[in-house]
Structure 1
Amino acid sequence: MLVSLLVCVTMMRRAQLEAAAAAGTAAPASATAAAASERPAAPQRPAALGPLYVSFAALQALDIHSTLRAPELGGREANPIVGGMVGSPAAFVAAKAGMTAAVYYASERLWKRNKAAALVTMIGLNCAYASIVAHNYALEARAPTMR
C-alpha cells in the first residue's frame, strides 16, 4: 500500500509542479498574453482522480490483507494466476503494487485524451475492487473461527 500511495502522491505532486511552472514563467505581460493566445491551455486533471487513486490504493491494501488471510481460514484464491503468489506474500504485494502503478499510469495517460473515460475507468475499478474486498471479508466472517 505504501508503494501505491507514494506513486499516487508523486503523480499528484508532479501535476501541481507542472501547473505552477506553466503559471509562473517570468515574462513581460505582452509576451505572456501573446504566448497564451498562441498555445492552448494545458489540460487540467479532473479533481476526482486524486481521491479515486487514494481509494484504489486502500482497496488494494484491503484485498492484499483479505487474500493473505484466506488460507488461515480455509479459503483459497479463486484467480489461478494470483493463487501461486499467495504462498509468497512479498511476491503478491509486489505484483499488486505493480498492477496499481500500471493502473495509475494508464489513467494518467487516458485523462489527457478523454477525462470522462479516465473517471469512468477509475470508478469502475474502485467498484469492482470494493465488491471483491466485501466478498472476501464476508467469506472471512462466515469462516469457522480457528482456535
Structure 2
Amino acid sequence: MDEAILERLEGGSGIFVAEVDGKLAGFAMTSDPGQATHNGPAVRALELAAEDEPTLRRFLYGPAAVSPAFQGQGILSGLLVDLSLRLQEQFDQGVAFVDHANERSLAVHRHFGMSALSSFELNGSLYTAFIFHPELFTDRLA
C-alpha cells in the first residue's frame, strides 16, 4: 500500500491500531465499499455479500496483522471488538476476503466465527468471502 491509499483509508471507516507498552502490537484496516473499486477481490466479496443480504450497510474489513511478539495475547480480538463498537452505528455488516493460499488467515476468520460465503476465482487466485455483523464481537462484552 502506498501513502495515498493509507490516507484514503484513514479518511473512511478507519485504521485501528493496538499498542502495548508503546510498541505496535497489531492493526486492522477497514474501508467504505466505495474505496475498494481498485481491488478486484474486495469488489467481488462485496457483491457476494450483497447477493446474500442486499439492503445492509457494509464496510470492508482487512487487512489485519498482529506482530509475532504479541500473537496469542488477544490483540486481534481486541481490535475486532474495538472496530465493531466504533462502526456498529454506521454499518450492519463487515465483509472480508481471504486468498486460499493464506491458510492461516482462513483459519483465523473461521475461528472468530465469521461466516464464509462462496469461494470465487479471480486472476488465477482462489478466494473466500466472509461476512460478520458487529454484534458478533460487541456481544462478547456483555
Compare the two structures and name the one with the higher helix fraction.
Answer: 1
Larger Rg: 1
Length-normalised TM-score, structure 1:
0.26
Length-normalised TM-score, structure 2:
0.27
Flag the structure with more relative contact order, 1 or 2, with Cα contacts below 8 A and sequence separation at least 6: 1
Compare the two structures and name the one with the higher strand fraction.
Answer: 2
